[in-house]
Amino acid sequence: MRIALPFLALAAFALPALAAGEAQMIAEGKRLAQINCTKCHNIEPAGASPLAESPPFREIAKNYDREELIDGFMDGLAVRHPLMPNWDVTQPQAEALTAFVMSLGTGQKPEESQAARGFDLLRANCARCHAIDASSMSPNGKAPPFRNVVRNYDPDALQEALAEGIVTGHNNMPEFAFEPDDVTAIIAYLDTLKSP
């Protein structure tokens, strides 16, 4: 184990320095965004963008990974959306902006992406017959829209049904049983249908 020692020592020094560097980058990115982007984009953890077509930065954080964003800023996102000002960013500025955008992804992200995953699972497995959104009709007239199911079902019973499969009562329905992670994601999505 003697060989590992120098590495350990190095890591102990490098880690706090990295964390401090990251915090500085985020602060610099926020400053740049405040100057250049807030005319159109919301850059806070909540709220709407001043210009409705501009996605809030926290949404951007969900759709891109770090490398894509840095490259995007360097190549000039102006190409893809004409409304955006033509702005030459330097590599450090692109990295700072990206660090800031990514920092907005934490916090809200887990719950929202759970629901998004739940939606995808239902779309893949159930939307053939059931309406899975807030307003449409079920493609199969006999299959109740999930927004009704979620209001009528006891949440525990629904959770159990998803995990163990719903076989009784409807022979038209395919058999299915979801993993616990998937059940959590589906329930997270179904919860969003509950509000009237």
Residue ranges that bind ligand HEC, judged by CB under 6 A:
33, 36-37, 39-41, 51, 53-55, 60, 72, 77, 80-81, 83-85, 87, 97, 125-126, 128-130, 140, 142-144, 149, 152, 161-162, 166, 169-170, 172-174, 176
Q: For the CB of residue 1, give the shortest distance to ligand HEC in the complex, in Å.
A: 46
For ligand HEC, the closer CB: 26 or 60: 60
CA distances from 58 to 21, 96, 108 (A): 21, 15, 9
**Residue 159 DSSP SS3:** helix
Q: For the CB of residue 48, give the shortest distance to ligand HEC in the complex, in Å.
A: 13
Q: For the CB of residue 46, give the shortest distance to ligand HEC in the complex, in Å.
A: 18
Element holding 58 (H helix, E strand): helix 57-63
Q: For the CB of residue 22, give the shortest distance to ligand HEC in the complex, in Å.
A: 18
Name residues whose C-beta falls within 8 Å of residue 64's C-beta, 6 or more positions apart in sequence. Answer: 72, 101
For ligand HEC, the closer CB: 14 or 50: 50
SS (H, E, C) 12-37: HHHHHHHHHHHHHHHHHHHHHHHHHC
For ligand HEC, the closer CB: 41 or 58: 41
Q: For the CB of residue 50, give the shortest distance to ligand HEC in the complex, in Å.
A: 9
For ligand HEC, the closer CB: 108 or 144: 144
Nearest Cα to 87, choosing from 25, 27, 35?
A: 35
Q: Which two tokens stand for residue 18?
A: 């990295």
